[in-house]
Amino acid sequence: MRGKTVARYGLLTALAMVLSYLETLVPLSFAVPGVKLGLANLVVIFALYRMGPAAAAALSLLRVVLVSFTFGNAYSFWYSLAGAALSFLIMWLLRRRSWFGELGVSVAGGVCHNIGQIAVAAAVLRSAAAAYYLPALLVSGVLAGLAVGAAAAVLIRRVPAFEP
């Protein structure tokens, strides 16, 4: 890996971690526990469009691991990993097929992140009762996805392409 590439990964990983930390300072879970904006997904969407799927997947995984170890616990790791993995998979497929633009990809990612977390909650609780939160989480996923997708679209258009 070239020095510039390593620097880009480091910069984007640090940015994702800072955005994740900033989310902890903004309490949005007044109605439903665990609701977040998903600001760190800005980095993943940017990387998906500007650096490719392998870079985006690596950044997403790095963020999950580092943020979980820094600000979370073992449970938060599995919830985050499931949400990030499903979210990334769907965003990558939609991007690959060119079915949606940045906004649609982000909304799908936000919704799928919440679905992945509910699936882990159902497995941990050994009950489908966690699905009770799903309607509220789907709405929050759409709203957060719209906000993050709009910001990502601006970044993708304004930040120059990286050199190979």
User: pLDDT tens digit string along 96-106?
Assistant: 998 899 999 99
φ/ψ of residue 41, rounded to 5: -65, -20
Q: What is the pLDDT of residue 164?
A: 56
Q: What is the pLDDT of residue 50?
A: 93
Mapped onto helix, strand or coil, the DSSP state of residue 96 is: helix
The residues, any chain, with a CB within 8 Å of residue 12's CB and separated by 6 or more, are 43, 46, 47, 59
Question: Which residue type occupies 77?
Answer: F
137 vs 139: CA distance, rounded Å: 5
Q: What is the pLDDT of residue 73?
A: 83
The residues, any chain, with a CB within 8 Å of residue 109's CB and separated by 6 or more, are 38, 41, 44, 45, 87, 88, 90, 91, 145
Q: What is the pLDDT of residue 72?
A: 82
The tokens describing 129, both together, are: 């009762």
The residues, any chain, with a CB within 8 Å of residue 22's CB and separated by 6 or more, are 39
148 vs 104: CA distance, rounded Å: 11
What are the CB-based long-range contacts (under 8 Å, 24+) for 63-70?
63/13, 63/16, 63/17, 63/20, 66/13, 66/17, 67/16, 67/17, 67/20, 67/21, 67/40, 70/17
Low-confidence ranges of the chain (pLDDT < 50): none
Q: What is the pLDDT of residue 94?
A: 96
92 vs 45: CA distance, rounded Å: 9
| b (16+ CB within 10 A) / e for 78-102 | bbbbbbbbbbbebbbebbeeeeeeb
Q: What is the pLDDT of residue 155?
A: 94
Q: Kindly state the DSSP code that residue 138 receives in the 8-state scheme.
A: H
